[in-house]
Structure 1
Amino acid sequence: MSLKISVVTAVFNRAGTVAEALASVQGQTWPSVEHIVIDGASTDGTLPILQAHRDQLAVLVSEPDQGIYDALNKGILRATGDVVGFLHADDLFEAPGSLAGVAAAFADPAVDAVYGDLVYVRQQDPTQVVRYWRAGRFKPGCLEQGWMPPHPTFYVRRSVYERLGLFDTRFRISADYECILRFLGRGGLRVAYLPQVLVRMRLGGISNESVSSMLRKSREDYAAMRINAIGGMQALLRKNLTKLPQFVRRAPDTV
């Protein structure tokens, strides 16, 4: 039996991009993919687009939520796959074989989580790369240095969520970072790194939409470190500084 991958998409008012995200999931060559879409009661025409693709979706929910992490938690709780990951409504898989690569890494039963690289692309033109996030391999002590893998490329066995918990919705911006610290730090997950771009992520997320959002993210990042007893102010500084090379590092050619 082939490994089943659940892909959760949280969406709110993304009529301009959500159809591309749906097509990106449908275009994956891996044969066992469960696509779960959680819509936060969109009002801009997103829901009719989702309904038009209803036969391609395992789950479609449209109702008010308490933010993106609440929506992602709803998706995780509805997932039936062996592995759970995410594709946001603005994002695209880099290639049709992205999930096949993830599945191949999970063929090793000792692997709890898999991640890869990510490129940030322009909002209006996803072929134009702005930043290249080469994650690199997970090493002991790297969390204390501010390292984290790109969360949109982070796939985890569903049993891990059952054992270690869902996103902590007290964090409005950094719940993904807190989750990674909890999983890789206290949880001690065994991880595999795929040295390839898995996802194209459009710029314009909540974490960098304004100065106040960036400040809030830093406060939340620091709180996540304190809760998980990993790192501190030096790690927070390094976490932010390590983003700078992403603007000058050249991404590999598109597959």
Structure 2
Amino acid sequence: MKKPVTISVITATYNAAEALPGLIDSLRAQTDKEFQWVVIDGASTDDTLAFISAATDLNIQWISELDFGIYDALNKAIRQTNSSYYLVLGADDRLKSDAIQLYKEAAHKTDADVITAKIQVNNRLIEHRSGPTWLYGAFNLVSSHAVGAIFKTALHEQFGYYSRKFPITADQLFIKRLVVGGASIYKASFVAGTFGHEGLSNSDLVGTLSETFRVQLETEKIKWLQVALYIVRLIRHYRRL
């Protein structure tokens, strides 16, 4: 008999008081309320901690202390959970009310290392892209690291934790390492929720493009092709740089 699937939602926050209430409301609205919420706060100075400490109706565990960025906080959260899977949510992300339930059902059915689902971004429906990883990178494998995928917690024992060398794209590096290492991915058809746009990857385009290039350079065999693609992307986004 399979063990019950357990999920921890993990969130890194810093001065997120404006966005956090919407996330909390979406967690409270879940049809399956059997999940843990682990929040690692980077010593916020606004009302973030007031919202977190007031969410006593949720199975919440949290700490607030200085950290080295999002992935350092996520690594702390992963080490504090005993759940079989975890789901990353930013303060500005929102879950559909049946997301936890559907993720659990897919995990129970498939026992896949990673379950990826569709997400909404600016009223557009996004799923994993079809195509080679040399072109799309991690987005050929999952729709999104946050909201759009759950990961077996035990994967970090084999593949390590999120790298602090990549403050913006450590998730892309981790996902690509999983696939190279033979981890299984199940691509579900349901919509998990809405991905927010207030994160670092959207506010620092130059940093995101540069780190994505470094990840691709580290994980793909044809290096010159990644250099060419990086130049093309810089030209494409020139007016936004």
- Displacement, 1:228? 2.5
- Which of 109, 128, 134 is matched with 1:135 structurally? 128
Residue of structure 1 in register with 2:239 after alignment: none
Query: Is residue 201 of structure 1 aligned with residue 203 of structure 2?
Result: no
Residue identity matched to 1:23: D
Identity of aligned residues (%): 26
Deviation at 1:15, TM superposition (A): 0.7
Q: Deviations over 1:156-214 (max 9, x none)?
A: 111111211111011011111111111122x21111011232121222322232xxx22
- Residue 224 of structure 1 corresponds to 215
Deviation at 1:230, TM superposition (A): 5.2
- Equivalent positions of 1:73-222 (< 5 A) are 73-93=75-95, 95-108=96-109, 110-121=111-122, 129=123, 131-136=124-129, 142-147=132-137, 148=139, 149=142, 150-152=144-146, 153-185=148-180, 187-209=181-203, 213-222=204-213
Q: TM-score, normalised by structure 1?
A: 0.80
Distance 2:21 2:94 in 1: 10
How many residues matched?
A: 225
Distance in 1 between the 2:220 and 2:226 partners?
12
Counterparts of residues 63-82 of structure 1 (less than 5 Å): 63-82=65-84
Structure 1 segments unaligned to the other structure (5+ residues): 122-128, 245-255
C-alpha deviation, 1:57, in angstroms = 3.6
TM-superposed deviation, 1:136: 4.8
Find the counterpart in structure 2 of residue 13 from structure 1: 15
**What letter corresponds to residue 229 of structure 1 in structure 2?**
E
Equivalent pair of 1:181/1:230 in contact (CA under 8 Å): no
Q: Normalising by the residue count of structure 2, what TM-score does the alignment of the two structures yield?
A: 0.84
Q: Which amino acid aligns with 1:115?
A: T
The 1-side partners of 2:39 and 2:156 are apart by 18
SS at match of 2:68: coil
CA-atom RMSD in angstroms: 2.3
Segments of 5+ residues of structure 2 without an aligned counterpart are 237-241
Q: State the 4+ residue runs in structure 1 displaced beyond 4 angstroms.
A: 230-236
